[in-house]
Amino acid sequence: MNTVIQVLILGILLGGVYALMSSGLTILFGVMRVVNIAHAAVIILAAYFTFFIWQWTGLDPLLISLIAIPTFFLFGATLYVTLFPRLEGSPRFAEMTVLLTFGLAFVLEGLMAYFFTGIFRQTQPAYLTEAFRFGPFYVPAAQLYALLASLVLLIALWAFLNFTHTGYGIRATMQNRTAAQIVGVDVRRASLISFGVGIGLAGAAGALFSFVFPFFPARHWQWIAILLSLIVAGGLGSLKGAVIASVVLAIVSAYVSQYLGPVWAPMVFYAALFLILIVRPQGLYGKVRRI
Amino acid sequence: MAILEIQGLTAGYGSGPDILTGVDLEVEEGKTYCIIGPNGAGKSTLLKVVAGLLEPRVGSVTFNGAEIGGKRPDIVLSNGVCFVPQDGSLFPEMTVRENLVMGAYLTRDRAAIAERLDEMMDLFPILGERSSQMAQTLSGGEQQQLLLARALMIRPTMMMIDEPSLGLAPQIASQIFEVIRSLSADLGMTLLLVEQNVRMGLAVSDWSFVLDLGTKRFEGPADTVLDDPRIRDLYLGKLARAVEGPR
């Protein structure tokens, strides 16, 4: 019984980080219909950003995440202004963004491999090997801090979307782009800010990722497959769906890893994806779109 | 004095054919206009161009003397022109209250927004009862009321309403048209309607424009336009006259 509860604790801890990683991706799709295949590559880039700042300054990765958010917000806004206006108005916008961001993922991977080499990296703050004990259970400190940081950022994102004027505009654009235009939302500005926020979240996620998982440039392909599974299972464009799917599937994968072996854990995400596409194609909280 | 002037307007979607061709029309302040015509006439497209959702290919759209043709929808709205599209343009996962607040998105004055919310709850009592419900849970008639109320939150000079009776039971549609009538009679608002239920639309209007295949065929007073034989041709085709024989 203790093992069951211990695995549950570890699953929840990982689920929080997955939720932060997938939240940016689902916002990009929800607001702009951009399927960002390069999202995990940006997370890995942010992990390198964190790694080198940590190595040079010794600053805690949790603090570096506060630097990563505005830095990657600006990176995202620049990417948006540079790459996406040309595609707007295309009847195949969503498909074009898949190709564009697929190419972007290769470019980022190539640049990272060139400058940072392909060896495994991981930031190693002092608490990486520490754990809190609660009776028979232990909670790894690094994963607990990553979960708490993810929760803080997700709550901040929720507050931004629900209590600010710009957040209202972004939510409106996510739910009904034409209606948002009709009530006066400048949807291009909303898209620019959303892209910045989505990539900024990837930046923060990368900072946490840097000490939770070892990484190298090509690692993003494995992660983008998992992240896409999470946001499709949650319902494309649904922040709530992405968070719930992340936590639930992280817990299930932790059990699979414990009882069937770690090699089977990634299968949970793909199996869930197949299952949900058969049973509920719009995902947990997705909308059925009228044609 | 015309508040809205459309001259030589040609428009279409993407790289497709022209839906509107050389449309001219003028709208005077404080009056209600109904645009009628068979399916595919370009009625809704005309409203979308004025609202800024579609760029004109040729021609001009001026409102209060300012060119609004091709301007962004938020700029058109800030000029006082509000568009109430057909169903499906609410924010389904926002509450009724949040939908109304979104109607005043261009207004930053919180006190003014609170005051207008109260006004809308008085004008549409059912929305007051449902204020914390998600918009997607409302009935068709309630959603239509919410669309109208949301548009009124910005206190527009002119409202364009596309198919307000679409999908509604006759009794609910009558209630909606009563509200539309009061917008003109009590608030003096300029209204431009598109309505398939021609009799209902004309009953609340002062003037009518008749569109067919993207061009304006003719216009006239709303209370006499139905007597025009050209209307029978448009809606029933020449076959109807052939069956009836010469009068």
pLDDT surpasses 60 at A197? yes
Q: Are the CB atoms for B161 and B84 separated by under 8 Å?
A: yes
- The pLDDT value given to residue A78: 95
Q: Three-class SS of residue B197?
A: coil
Of the candidates B14, B52, B102, the beta carbon closest to that of A183 is on: B102
- The pLDDT value given to residue B40: 86
| Cβ neighbours of B134 in A, within 8 Å | none
pTM (two decimals): 0.84
pLDDT digits (tens, 9 = 90+) for A148-183: 999 999 999 999 998 999 999 998 988 888 999 999
Report which of residues A4 and B233 the model is more confident about: A4
Give the tokens for residue A286: 């997705």
| Cβ neighbours of A290 in B, within 8 Å | 88
CB–CB contact B105 A169 (8 Å): yes
Q: Are the CB atoms for B211 and B35 separated by under 8 Å?
A: yes
Query: Is A91's Cβ below 8 Å from some Cβ in B?
Result: yes
Q: Name which of A44-58, A273-287, B54-68, B191-205 the model is least confident about.
A: A273-287
Q: What angle do CA A264, A267, A273 make, to 5 degrees?
A: 165
pLDDT surpasses 60 at A291? no
- The pLDDT value given to residue B1: 74
Q: What is the 3-state secondary structure (H, E, C) of B109-160?
A: CHHHHHHHHHHHHHHCHHHHHCCCCEHHHCCHHHHHHHHHHHHHCCCCCEEE
From the list A261, A207, A230, the residue with the least C-alpha distance to A62 is: A207
Looking at chain B from residue 50 to 79, which residues have their Cβ under 8 Å from any Cβ of chain A? 51-53, 72-74, 77-78
Q: How far is residue B6's CA from residue A203's CA, in Å, rounded to a whole number?
A: 49
How much of chain A exceeds pLDDT 90, in percent? 74
pLDDT surpasses 90 at B141? no
Task: Give the mean model confidence (pLDDT) for residues B17-42.
Answer: 92
Q: Are the CB atoms for A28 and A98 separated by under 8 Å?
A: no
Q: How far is residue A23's CA from residue A9's CA, in Å, rounded to a whole number?
A: 21
Indicate the pLDDT class of residue B243, thresholds 50, 70 and 90.
Answer: low
Using the 8-state DSSP alphabet, how is residue B227 labeled?
Answer: G
Q: How far is residue B217's CA from residue B230's CA, in Å, rounded to a whole number?
A: 9
pLDDT surpasses 60 at B247? no
Give the tokens for residue A152: 């803080």
Q: How far is B12 from chain A (nearest CA, A)?
A: 14
Give the tokens for residue A186: 């400048």
Q: What is the 3-state secondary structure (H, E, C) of chain A?
A: CHHHHHHHHHHHHHHHHHHHHHHHHHHHHHHHCCCCCCHHHHHHHHHHHHHHHHHHHCCCHHHHHHHHHHHHHHHHHHHHHHHCCCCCCCCCHHHHHHHHHHHHHHHHHHHHHHHHCCCCECCCCHHHHCEEEECCEEEEHHHHHHHHHHHHHHHHHHHHHHHCHHHHHHHHHHHCHHHHHHCCCCHHHHHHHHHHHHHHHHHHHHHHHHHHCCECHHHHHHHHHHHHHHHHHHCCCCHHHHHHHHHHHHHHHHHHHHHCCHHHHHHHHHHHHHHHHHHCCCCCCCCCCCC
Query: Is A181's Cβ below 8 Å from some Cβ in B?
Result: yes
pLDDT surpasses 70 at A288? no
Query: Is A165's Cβ below 8 Å from some Cβ in B?
Result: yes
From the list A81, A178, A63, A180, the residue with the least C-alpha distance to A123 is: A63
| Cβ neighbours of B90 in A, within 8 Å | 176, 179
pLDDT surpasses 60 at A110? yes
- The pLDDT value given to residue A131: 92
Task: Give the mean model confidence (pLDDT) for residues A25-44.
Answer: 90
- The pLDDT value given to residue A91: 76
Q: Three-class SS of residue B29?
A: coil
pLDDT surpasses 80 at A286? no
| Cβ neighbours of B87 in A, within 8 Å | none
Q: Are the CB atoms for A197 and A248 separated by under 8 Å?
A: no
CB–CB contact B53 A185 (8 Å): no
The rounded Cα A11 to chain-centroid distance in angstroms is 17
Phi and psi of A166, rounded to 5°? Answer: -65, -40
- The pLDDT value given to residue B224: 84
Give the tokens for residue B90: 């609410």
Domain extents for chain A?
A: 2-279
Q: Which CATH architecture has domain B2-80+157-244?
A: 3-Layer(aba) Sandwich (3.40)
Indicate the pLDDT class of residue A214, thresholds 50, 70 and 90.
Answer: very high
CB–CB contact A186 B72 (8 Å): yes
Average pLDDT for chain A: 91
pLDDT digits (tens, 9 = 90+) for A220-234: 999 999 999 999 998
Query: Is B93's Cβ below 8 Å from some Cβ in A?
Result: yes
Count of Cβ atoms closer than 10 Å to residue A225 Cβ: 16
Q: How far is A154 from chain B (nearest CA, A)?
A: 19
Q: Are the CB atoms for A28 and A228 separated by under 8 Å?
A: no
Task: Give the mean model confidence (pLDDT) for residues A4-13.
Answer: 93
Q: How far is residue A112's CA from residue A41's CA, in Å, rounded to a whole number?
A: 9
Indicate the pLDDT class of residue A290, thresholds 50, 70 and 90.
Answer: very low
CB–CB contact A179 B14 (8 Å): no
Query: Is B102's Cβ below 8 Å from some Cβ in A?
Result: yes
Of the candidates A172, A186, A287, the beta carbon closest to that of B102 is on: A172
CB–CB contact A181 B102 (8 Å): no
- The pLDDT value given to residue B240: 56
Q: How far is B80 from chain A (nearest CA, A)?
A: 11
- The pLDDT value given to residue B31: 94
Give the tokens for residue B118: 């109260």
CB–CB contact B101 A182 (8 Å): no
Query: Is A234's Cβ below 8 Å from some Cβ in B?
Result: no
Task: Give the mean model confidence (pLDDT) for residues A272-291.
Answer: 78
Indicate the pLDDT class of residue B239, thresholds 50, 70 and 90.
Answer: low
CATH number belonging to domain A2-279: 1.10.3470
Q: Which residue has the tokens 């598109």?
A: B194
Task: Give the mean model confidence (pLDDT) for residues A210-228.
Answer: 94
pLDDT surpasses 50 at A35? yes
Report which of residues B175 and A107 the model is more confident about: A107
How much of chain B exceeds pLDDT 70, in percent? 95
| Cβ neighbours of A289 in B, within 8 Å | none
- B54, B93, B161, B162: best mutation site toward chain A, by most A Cβ within 10 Å? B93
Report the interhelical angle of A39-57 vs A2-32 (nearest 10°).
110
Structure-derived torsion over alpha carbons of residues B225, B231, B235, B240, reported in degrees to the nearest 10: 130
Of the candidates B88, B92, B106, the beta carbon closest to that of A184 is on: B106
Pairing of strands B207-212, B32-36: parallel
Average pLDDT for chain B: 89
Q: How far is residue B28's CA from residue B192's CA, in Å, rounded to a whole number?
A: 10
pLDDT surpasses 90 at A39? yes
Indicate the pLDDT class of residue B116, thresholds 50, 70 and 90.
Answer: very high
Of the candidates B52, B91, B154, the beta carbon closest to that of A172 is on: B91
Residue A63: beta bridge partners?
none
- Taking CA atoms, what residue in A is nearest to B147? A179
CB–CB contact A185 B74 (8 Å): yes
The strand order across the sheet containing B2-12 reads: B18-28, B2-12, B58-63, B66-67
Domain extents for chain B?
A: 2-80+157-244, 87-155
CB–CB contact B73 A182 (8 Å): yes
Q: How far is residue A268's CA from residue A153's CA, in Å, rounded to a whole number?
A: 26
Report which of residues A55 and B224 the model is more confident about: A55
Give the list of residues 6+ apart from residue B115 with CB closer than 8 angstroms, or none: none
Query: Is B89's Cβ below 8 Å from some Cβ in A?
Result: yes
- The pLDDT value given to residue B241: 57
The strand order across the sheet containing B207-212 reads: B81-84, B158-162, B190-194, B32-36, B207-212, B215-221
CB–CB contact A165 B101 (8 Å): no
Task: Give the mean model confidence (pLDDT) for residues A180-189.
Answer: 93
**C-alpha distances out from residue B27 to B58, B63, B191, B240, Å:** 20, 9, 9, 33
Phi and psi of A196, rounded to 5°? Answer: -60, -45
Query: Is A171's Cβ below 8 Å from some Cβ in B?
Result: yes
Q: How far is residue A190's CA from residue A177's CA, in Å, rounded to a whole number?
A: 10
Indicate the pLDDT class of residue B24, thresholds 50, 70 and 90.
Answer: very high
pLDDT surpasses 70 at B15? yes
The rounded Cα A275 to chain-centroid distance in angstroms is 22
From the list A54, A44, A43, A84, the residue with the least C-alpha distance to A194 is: A84
